[in-house]
Amino acid sequence: MELDEREMINFPILHPAVLLPICFFGGLIIGFGFFRALRATTDLILRQGKPLLALALMLGRMSMLVTALYISVLAGGPALLAAFAGVLCAKALMLYRVRREP
């Protein structure tokens, strides 16, 4: 079964003007959750000495990110890029916030 490039990048779910912002904001929310959980993981390891709980939190945040990106893959390549851009923006905002803390 061969597909040309037009059929491979179609948006079967919603119009791109609706789908891409939804994927971006979804990636932003997932990114904030992911990097907040990353900070909690480092706090568990460094300050509280609970590596098993940190491992469980790491597996949870990784599975959350993989699941969200897989769902966006089902909507097409541009939707995946929009979701990934949201995750990267969340990372930049979280780093900006951490650097401003005293």
Number of folded domains that form the chain = 1
Residue 12 resides in a domain:
no
Q: What is the domain extent for residue 51?
A: 20-93
Contact between 13 and 75 (Cβ < 8 Å): yes
pLDDT of residue 77: 87
pLDDT of residue 60: 94
Residue 76 resides in a domain:
yes
Task: State the pTM of this model.
Answer: 0.80
Rounded average pLDDT over 29-48: 92
Residue 1 resides in a domain:
no
Cα Rg for the chain, rounded, in angstroms?
17
Element (H, E) at 96: helix 77-100
pLDDT of residue 19: 85
pLDDT of residue 6: 57
Query: CB under 8 Å to 39, separation ≥6 — which residues?
Result: 94, 98
Residue with tokens 């891409």: 20
Return the SS3 of 15: coil
